Amino acid sequence: MTDPAIHALAISAPEFVERVLGDWDNIDHRRKGYNNSTFLANELKLFGLPERRNMLKADLELARVISQDLKEEKFKLELADCFKGFIDVLKAISHVADTVYEEMGRNCESCTPKANNQLKDLIASFEEKSAAFHQMIFSLAANVKETSACLVASKDLRLIDQPTKSPTISGRTYPAKASYTQSENDLPTEEDVLVEKIYTVIKYKKDMAAGCQTLASKLMLAGPNWNIPRLICYRNDEKTNCMDFIFKYPHPELKLLSLHQLYTNGRPEPTLNIRLKLCYQIAAAVLQAYVLGLTHKHIQPQNLLVSTREDNICVEQASLILTGWLNPCSSECQQKSESAFSELIHQYPNYRCRGDTPNVDYNIGYDIYSMGVCMLELLTWELLVRPVGTEEVLSAAYQREFERQENGQTSDTPSNNDLSDDKNHESLIQRYTKDSEKVKNTLIAITETEVRKRAGDNMADLICRCLNCLDPKTGLYDVDTLQQKSIVVQIFRDEIFQRFNRLLSVI
């Protein structure tokens, strides 16, 4: 049997993911033992980044799904050959790192230039080959058949905690316990779940049923570390005229709160490390949704849920998931989010809904823009549109920067205007959100002032890149690029994840 065929079988094996991650963890274990060696600790630092490990795990899980579902043998062999390239380098890194460590022990903290250069070359080769593996997985994902949708009858799934007894986390999302059977011969399983309701518009009921089936089929492929909740099944709830999407509850020992709740319930601002990791997890969720063939359309603080301890007033070691899958169907029957003004702030300028249909086709660039706005709020730890009683009020920072833009002033011009207490809140917000380009320019101005001051130049530059991602001159993507999935993914990885990796490696 040829090497590619052997590796194709290896990828399909149940223990495939754990075996490869075992090699990664062995290198990380050795890295931790090299604390007295600056050279080795620095060279192997990427193996100490949990974000990189999680990304590799997601790649491996998707590779296993793809290898089982690909119909053409040549694609399986190409995937296996690409996998062999980076796994061989991973094993070589482990071997050479041991050799270097032994030489340094014998030669008083020094090693031969040959071994030194060999390890550096292997690390560079691993980065290149793992990126190639990553790109191939995503390019092959388009050839994989959809998982069969998991529509269940209401009698086969019972929610033990009814919605009226369960406090909502964000609008249509609430926690519950569910009892269901996974197959005819199994006993009922009872577990904590997350329920998301998608209300049916009667006029478009048929389209929405098909849209929900497609959405469910794609969400079923989400890996456990993709910052997207894992779908168990979905059902048609005729009593409430909606579809219930039932997800596994992440970290049942923890409480789920939306970022919107965290901002408004008085919890102290987390450390910069935590906020950067949450930003990274938002980016991971956006990319993984795109890999699944989904664009979200409503990336806002209400739909970004964070696991945190209920008895801890501080946010520590937070884990984030993306929810709020409100648009499974065609653009003609899109549903509005609950906060119209928040939507206007978070929505890409060219995608302002007017009437029933948006004026352009949706693409990942609009999700990246919304992601940048959410990162801005995370790093300043302040909502741009906050609730005050029954009203919505724009943040003072937004109003100040908007006025500066209007008056042609620079950020150095002092301003103490805080119009948040003005009695006519709604007319003020309408004025500040009517012109979408001015909204975008105001957000960039806040990033240049507040984010640069609070989180540094790299994060400020990254958010500006997100807000300008579709700019014809300086943006990440153009019209032609958006048609090529593998290139979209590679640019996202190079321009967004690489920046995060550099930041997270030094904090």
pLDDT tens digit sequence for 353-368 = 443 444 456 789 999 9
d(CA 353, CA 179): 39
DSSP three-state, residue 247: strand
pLDDT exceeds cutoff 90 at 380: yes
Give residue 357's pLDDT: 44
pLDDT class for 419, splitting at 50, 70, 90? very low
Give residue 323's pLDDT: 93
pLDDT tens digit sequence for 76-99 = 788 888 888 888 898 899 888 777
Contacts of 222 (CB under 8 A, 6+ apart): 228, 229, 230, 231, 288, 292
Dihedral Cα 249, 255, 261, 263, nearest 10 deg: -120
Give residue 384's pLDDT: 94
pLDDT class for 154, splitting at 50, 70, 90? low
pLDDT tens digit sequence for 195-239 = 998 876 656 667 777 788 888 888 887 776 778 998 888 888 777
d(CA 188, CA 178): 10
pLDDT exceeds cutoff 80 at 441: yes
pLDDT exceeds cutoff 90 at 383: yes
Q: How many residues does the chain have?
A: 507
Q: Residue 403 has what DSSP assignment?
A: H
Q: Residue 494 has what DSSP assignment?
A: I
pLDDT tens digit sequence for 294-326 = 888 889 999 999 988 766 666 777 789 999 987
Q: Which pTM was predicted?
A: 0.75
More confident residue, 109 or 6: 6
Q: What's the mean pLDDT when you consider all of the chain? A: 79
